[in-house]
């Protein structure tokens, strides 16, 4: 759902980044460095750092699309770093909040959503794509950090439903 809106999103700072000579791949790597840095900070500063890394991901895509700086390598780099940052974020939350098993399962289910989309060869979206998943985890961690196990159980159930939804779409189109 957010993915459809993200393509139309224009961020004013992107023009400035372009004029400064910043390339999308620079932003992608910067986001990864910020996410890795977050691993060594307490929970709430880490949430801020991960949020910045997620925002940088939006910036790199906008910069690439709006200024025709896309490349196959950049697309692969961006997608790969997106998955790494997402896995780092979920793993960090699982460890920090004492829900390691649920966190590991969440990483696996999150990767499966991406796998189904990629393997189908179709342009698919679900009700619980990457943006929605990250927002869900950020908000529930801030509001209900003492309920991490329940948050992850809900997250994992939503991921499972998203996988079922995607498989249904694949079945209809193939």
The pLDDT tens digits of the residues spanning 40-57 come to 999 999 999 999 999 999
Q: CB–CB of 84/76 below 8 Å?
A: no
The predicted structure's pLDDT at residue 7:
53
- pLDDT-based confidence at 13, cuts 50/70/90? confident
Asked whether the predicted pLDDT for residue 67 surpasses 60, the reply is: yes
Q: 67 is in which domain, residue-wise? A: 13-96
Give the confidence band of 169 by pLDDT, cuts at 50, 70, 90. Answer: very high
- 71 and 125 housed in the same domain: no
Do 104 and 90 fall within a single domain?
Answer: no
- Specify the pLDDT at position 10: 62
Assess contact for 2 and 132: CB atoms under 8 A: yes
- 136 occurs within a structural domain: yes
Banded pLDDT at 12 (limits 50, 70, 90): confident
Please give the Cα distance from 28 to 30 (Å, whole number). Answer: 5
Give the residue-averaged pLDDT of 153-160. Answer: 97
Six-digit token string for 39? 């691993």
- Tally of domains in the chain: 2
For residues 21 and 92, state if they share a domain: yes
Residues 138 and 81 in one domain: no
């Amino acid at each position: 759902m957010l993915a459809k809106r993200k393509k139309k999103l224009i961020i004013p700072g992107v023009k400035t980044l372009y004029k400064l000579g910043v390339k999308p791949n620079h932003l992608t790597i910067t986001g990864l460095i910020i996410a890795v840095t977050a691993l060594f900070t307490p929970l709430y500063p880490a949430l801020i750092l991960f949020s910045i890394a997620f925002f940088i991901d939006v910036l790199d895509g906008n910069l690439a699309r709006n200024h025709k700086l896309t490349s196959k390598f950049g697309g692969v780099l961006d997608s790969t770093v997106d998955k790494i940052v997402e896995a780092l974020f979920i793993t960090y939350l699982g460890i920090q909040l004492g829900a390691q098993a649920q966190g590991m399962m969440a990483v696996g289910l999150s990767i499966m959503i991406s796998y189904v989309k990629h393997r189908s060869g179709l342009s698919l979206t679900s009700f619980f794509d990457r943006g929605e998943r990250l927002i869900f985890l950020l908000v529930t961690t801030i509001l209900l950090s003492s309920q991490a196990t329940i948050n992850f159980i809900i997250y994992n159930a939503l991921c499972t439903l998203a996988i079922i939804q995607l498989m249904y779409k694949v079945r209809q189109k193939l």
